[in-house]
Amino acid sequence: MPRFLTDSEHRTLAAACDRLIPPLDAHPGAAALGVADYVDTLLAAFTFDPPRIFAGGPYSGRAGGDASFDDFLALSPLEELAWRTRIEGSRGEPAREFNGPVVGWQQRYRDGLGGLGADFADQPPGEQDRRLDADPAFKALCYEHACEGAYGAPEYGGNRGLAGWTAIHFAGDVQPRGYTDEAVSGRD
Amino acid sequence: MTDAAHATLDCDVVVVGTGPGGATAAHVLTRAGRSVIMLEKGRNHLLALDAPFGPLGHVSNDEIKFTRRHFLGPDPLLEPRTFRIDDGDGDRRWTGDVNNLPSTVGGGGFHADGKLPRFREVDFRARSELGPIEGADIADWPFGYDELEPYYTEAERLVGVAGDHTANPFAAWRSGPYPMPPGPDMFCATVTAAAAERLGYHPYRAPTGVNSIEYDGRPACNNCGFCAFYGCPIEAKGDPVGLLRAALHTGHCEIRPDAHVTEVVLDATGRQARGVRYLDAAGDLHEVTASAVVVACGAFETPRLLTRSGIGNPDIVGRFLMYHLQTLVLGLFPFRLHAHRGRAVTHLMDDPIVPDELAMAAARDAGLPYFRGGIVEHGGAGMPIMEAMHLPSGEMHSRLMLDSPMRDCMAAFTMQGEDLPQATNRIDDDPRVRDVWGRPAGRVTYSPHAHDAACATHWAPRLEAVMKEAGAHTTFWVTSPPLRDHLRAGADPTPTSRHVMGTTRMGTDARITVCDPTQRCWDVDNVLVADSSVFPTSTGYGPTLTIVATALRAATLLAGGDAPRTTP
């Protein structure tokens, strides 16, 4: 259940990101990796307490140690100002507009997904690509976040089932186990 | 200062900045019994500020947090910087992240992967030994390698450097071995180093500030691979945590994070500092009084703080900004190199720093008397998000991520080419862009010298040949900042180097430098600069160990200590 996006927007975003990072052979593609959930979590970061901006540490528990990535860190007042501005936009607030108005990601996604059309997910690949190419700035934003959601730590909402890392032969976070000296120096 | 006056001060010395330079100064001064308050603009993610000063647990193997979300600061939305090549760009060409080093407790040491070579003897007297180059202002350092050697030795001991002192045939003399043996070689580096040796070069195992054995109460590195741009979750990296923790353990040191220093406060004569003013996280203004001020904000912010405070010759402060001109030579291999395991770079070679006949001939062809290249780091690619961001979208993306030619099958050489000092390269205030505190954003005006470009152009094909010898089926190279031809093609002109130096030059002539040979400001001699701002030249080596060594020297002299001497 998305927190910021509507169900329709979420479906459109998943389809759009799947054109940017499509399934291929062992690669599951962006939709299966939960990239739309990653973006929705980012856009709704301030509906969580603490905001889901900086995951905790030092370990996820996947390679030993206590799992603490899910214990997101509290933001400082200045960090909150920066991330609210980046996500929500400046909204006319002087504290956020010391260099002028800022259009936030929430608005950019709302506008960009609207531009793709509510029927985007049902279009053939060629038509989907044409619509994505019509708004290069929005396509670039989606791609940036799709890369993060596909290959980042799953605590941020994407990389579902670690399938992004598995597909590319990457172990992800490995502390506190690390790698043996032989694994560092030897050929696989 | 009288005893009575001293008794009213908040501390003996206030240190602005907690990176390698500030941490070193705090360590030396507290060891000498001085009371120190350290002010850090950024947050504290490094260590508890109450005894026993253990890790906070904020550091993790998290690519999103460390490379995508400005976790270590500064956030370019709050503190934008601007960049232009020259006046022809108008007020600016770019606004955003410009050489952002972490602004957090630990500073630039937090994210560095810890390659810690020393400079060579000639680096301290390049002007007198090698001579001038037209259009550059090459200067001798006000002291030589022999004077700095004991401080290099102390720096290696304090930080904890692992290395093989017999390995580099071009290295300067040293008074003893490294405190630790080298750690395990990365597979990719063994492949490229062997090829380099076959072609007559001299790769060696990099001196690295990462524990290869338990050292100073911290564990050996376990090779997680999240080194460059990340902190170390297990504290196997000694810089900066070792120095800061040692200072805190004396009981004479207090660290105040989220403390943005607005100015160094001068007395009525304007010749003495009486402390600093800073804004806390709530925006409230405070003043800390002290008998001396150490400024260690890094070569971007230190000149801006001095300028705001009316310290230093305004015609000189901020000038002679230097980076390293980075030449990235990339080789794509038909097998996986797993360069994400290990400590980012385990081999270096100095050959471009000590030019051979081919390089000298190329220099002459370019109309230059000599080349001063840089250290070559044998490393690999970054982590998957960085890889993905450099790929096209669509099916090509998924195919390339599966096969990973740009990460798991890629080796990388980075030559940290010496950047000749030029007065026109500088940091000043942008006339319009503001930071979150309402002050002018810092602005870089920078263009590399023709020497730097010619040197990169000469060495890149030679390093490509090494990659091919190692088995790469495809090679290519780029520089940062881009050379003129690439600039015309629309490349981002902003240097990505985090080696920033030279903006409050030290020297023996007060008319043309900001700091004296002890790194004190000529015009306010109880203000000492303890970072790479004071470097007269950039050399071709990473600056961190020399920042620590020079800060050790300067703080020792400030504390009234005797200069130690060593012999080979």
Please write the tens of the pLDDT for every residue from B397-452.
999 999 999 999 999 999 999 999 999 999 999 999 999 999 999 999 999 999 99
Q: Mean pLDDT throughout B157-186?
A: 97
From chain B, pick out residues whose CB is under 8 angstroms from the CB of A152: 62-64, 68, 385
> Topology of domain B1-57+100-159+239-317+500-568, per CATH?
FAD/NAD(P)-binding domain (3.50.50)
The rounded percent of chain B whose pLDDT value lies above 90 is 92
Q: Which two tokens stand for residue B432?
A: 């319009």
Which residues of B, range 291-330, sit inside 8 Å of A by Cβ?
A: none
Q: Mean pLDDT throughout B135-146?
A: 98
Each domain of chain B, given as residue ranges in start order, spans 1-57+100-159+239-317+500-568
Q: What crossing angle do the helices spanning A136-151 and A7-20 adopt, rounded to 10°?
A: 90
Q: What share of chain A is helix, strand, coil (3-state, %, to 5)?
A: 50, 5, 45
Listed residue (B55, B52, B57) closest to B251, CA to CA: B52
Task: For residue B62, report the phi and psi dihedrals to the nearest 5 degrees.
Answer: -135, 100
Q: What crossing angle do the helices spanning A136-151 and A105-116 adopt, rounded to 10°?
A: 110
Residue in the block written with tokens 């509290």: A74
Name which of A23, A79, A99 is nearest B434 (Cβ-Cβ): A99
Distance from CA of B317 to the nearest CA of A (A): 26
Name which of B64, B258, B341 is nearest A156 (Cβ-Cβ): B64
Higher pLDDT, B113 or B314: B314
User: Which three-class secondary structure state does DSSP give residue A61?
Assistant: strand
Taking the C-alpha atoms of residue B241 and residue B160, their distance in angstroms, rounded to an integer, is 11
User: Which three-class secondary structure state does DSSP give residue B115?
Assistant: strand
Q: Is A25 left (phi over 0), alpha (psi -120 to 50) or beta?
A: left
| Bridge partners of residue B36, in order along the sequence | B13, B253
Considering only the C-alpha atoms of chain B, give the largest distance between any 2 of them, rounded to a whole number of Å.
75
User: Which three-class secondary structure state does DSSP give residue B71?
Assistant: coil
Structural domains counted in chain A: 1
Contacts of A100 (CB under 8 A, 6+ apart): none
Q: Which two tokens stand for residue B236?
A: 């196997």
Taking the C-alpha atoms of residue B364 and residue B455, their distance in angstroms, rounded to an integer, is 11
* pLDDT of residue B41 exceeding 70: yes
In 10 A of CB B289, how many CB atoms?
16
Q: Which two tokens stand for residue B391?
A: 């790929």
pLDDT tens by residue, B168-178:
999 999 999 99
Distance from CA of A43 to the nearest CA of B (A): 14
Strands B426-434 and B474-480: unpaired
A148 touching B, CB under 8 A?
yes
From chain A, pick out residues whose CB is under 8 angstroms from the CB of B434: 98-99
What confidence score (pLDDT) does residue B561 get? 83
- Give the burial class of B55: count Cβ atoms within 10 A of its Cβ; 0-12 exposed, 13-18 middle, 19 or more buried: buried
pLDDT tens by residue, B439-453:
999 999 999 999 999
> Given pLDDT bands bounded at 50, 70 and 90, which one contains residue B78?
very high
What confidence score (pLDDT) does residue A153 get? 98
From chain A, pick out residues whose CB is under 8 angstroms from the CB of B438: 98
pLDDT tens by residue, B373-389:
999 999 998 899 999 99
Taking the C-alpha atoms of residue A93 and residue A80, their distance in angstroms, rounded to an integer, is 14
* pLDDT of residue B567 exceeding 50: yes
What confidence score (pLDDT) does residue B345 get? 93
Find out whether A19 and A116 touch, Cβ atoms under 8 Å: no
From chain A, pick out residues whose CB is under 8 angstroms from the CB of B70: 82
Find out whether B500 and B510 touch, Cβ atoms under 8 Å: no
> Given pLDDT bands bounded at 50, 70 and 90, which one contains residue B7?
low
pLDDT tens by residue, B453-484:
999 999 999 999 999 999 999 999 999 998 87
Please judge whether A57 and B338 are an interchain contact, meaning their C-beta atoms are less than 8 angstroms apart.
no
Find out whether B189 and B344 touch, Cβ atoms under 8 Å: no
> Chain-wide mean pLDDT for chain B?
95
* pLDDT of residue B488 exceeding 90: no
Residue B506 to residues B23, B243, B254, Cα–Cα distance (Å): 20, 25, 29
Taking the C-alpha atoms of residue B213 and residue B221, their distance in angstroms, rounded to an integer, is 8
Q: Is A17 within a domain?
A: yes
Higher pLDDT, B79 or B229: B79
Q: Is A145 within a domain?
A: yes
In 10 A of CB B170, how many CB atoms?
13
Splitting chain A (188 residues) into consecutive groups of 10 residues, what average pLDDT does each group show?
A: 97 98 98 98 98 98 98 97 98 97 98 98 98 98 98 98 98 98 96
Listed residue (B413, B421, B419, B420) closest to B351, CA to CA: B413
Find the radius of gyration of the CA atoms of chain A.
18
What's the half-sphere exposure (Cβ side, CA atoms, 13 Å) at B404? Answer: 26
What confidence score (pLDDT) does residue B568 get? 83
* pLDDT of residue B489 exceeding 90: no
A59: nearest CA partner in chain B: B60
Q: Mean pLDDT throughout B90-114?
A: 92
Q: Mean pLDDT throughout B196-208?
A: 98
From chain A, pick out residues whose CB is under 8 angstroms from the CB of B59: 57-58
Q: In this structure, what is the dihedral angle of CA atoms B348, B226, B67, A11, given to the nearest 10 degrees?
A: 130
From chain B, pick out residues whose CB is under 8 angstroms from the CB of A162: none
Strands (E), B405-541: 410-417, 426-434, 440-445, 474-480, 527-529
Task: For residue B204, report the phi and psi dihedrals to the nearest 5 degrees.
Answer: -150, 165
User: Which three-class secondary structure state does DSSP give residue B288?
Assistant: strand
A53 touching B, CB under 8 A?
yes
List the domain range (segments joined by +) for residue A127: 7-179
Q: Is A131 within a domain?
A: yes
Q: Mean pLDDT throughout B23-32?
A: 98
Q: ∠ CA B141-B144-B147 to the nearest 5 degrees?
A: 135
Q: Mean pLDDT throughout B548-565?
A: 93
Q: Is A151 within a domain?
A: yes
Name which of B80, B224, B387 is nearest A178 (Cβ-Cβ): B224
In 10 A of CB B296, how many CB atoms?
28
Q: Is A1 within a domain?
A: no
What confidence score (pLDDT) does residue B322 get? 98
From chain A, pick out residues whose CB is under 8 angstroms from the CB of B208: none
Contacts of B29 (CB under 8 A, 6+ apart): B12, B13, B15, B36, B252, B294, B555, B558, B559
Taking the C-alpha atoms of residue B289 and residue B526, their distance in angstroms, rounded to an integer, is 12
pLDDT tens by residue, B232-257:
999 999 988 999 999 999 999 999 99
Listed residue (B494, B555, B508) closest to B536, CA to CA: B508
Q: Mean pLDDT throughout B136-162?
A: 98
Taking the C-alpha atoms of residue B34 and residue B473, their distance in angstroms, rounded to an integer, is 59
Which residues of A, range 127-146, sit inside 8 Å of B by Cβ?
A: 129, 139, 143-144
Taking the C-alpha atoms of residue B19 and residue B39, their distance in angstroms, rounded to an integer, is 11
Q: Which of B223, B226, B386, B399 would best serve as a mutation to test chain A binding (most A beta carbons within 10 A)?
A: B223
User: Which three-class secondary structure state does DSSP give residue B267?
Assistant: coil
B389 touching A, CB under 8 A?
yes
Contacts of B131 (CB under 8 A, 6+ apart): B138, B369, B370
User: Which three-class secondary structure state does DSSP give residue B520?
Assistant: strand
> Given pLDDT bands bounded at 50, 70 and 90, which one contains residue B1?
very low
